[in-house]
Structure 1
């Protein structure tokens, strides 16, 4: 079979939708929380929201800053936040 015929008969795989791209992150957070609650061994959990948001936010900021080569204007655009908000968050996590 020629390359042209193979190419024309190939099944198009749909690009990931926004929801599909979120699934691995959601599953990772859920898995980490399951381990966290299991490790509590019956003790009460405290400040789970702040703990999760802080960990996810810091990792996200580190990744976006690396991806944008520390260009704060571009990073703010990628994150969909104001540049001054980005600077505050970078300072909060000692990333500035």
Structure 2
């Protein structure tokens, strides 16, 4: 499946550059950093694709709607 391979390659390429840019400094919290960098744009794209419909977006993402709401709140993406 090409899109997944492209995403994986992009992540790997960016991580290699990140470690290179550290220039010997010790990295910290890389797992959380990567999750945040990937998760927010994923949520934004899916929510846009689903016209803001959280139930539909949760289905597309394979998440429980409450889990989706928690993640949207975490990234400040819930409407007022």
* CA displacement at 1:20 relative to structure 2: 2.9
Q: Where does residue 61 of structure 2 map in the other structure?
A: 79
Q: Deviations over 1:5-50 (max 9, x none)?
A: xxxxxxxxxxxxxx43310000010011011001000000000000
Task: Report SS of the residue matched to 1:81.
Answer: coil
The number of residue pairs the alignment matches comes to 78
TM-score under structure 1 normalisation? 0.79
Runs of 4+ in 1 over 6 A off after TM superposition: none
Task: Report SS of the residue matched to 1:45.
Answer: coil
Consecutive unaligned residues of structure 1, counting only runs of 5 or more, are 1-18
Q: Which has the larger radius of gyration?
A: 1
Task: Report SS of the residue matched to 1:31.
Answer: helix
CA distance in 2, matches of 1:50, 1:20: 25
Q: Deviations over 1:44-66 (max 9, x none)?
A: 00000000011101110000001
CA distance in 1, matches of 2:3, 2:21: 29
Give the alignment's Cα RMSD to 1 decimal.
Answer: 0.7
TM-score under structure 2 normalisation? 0.94
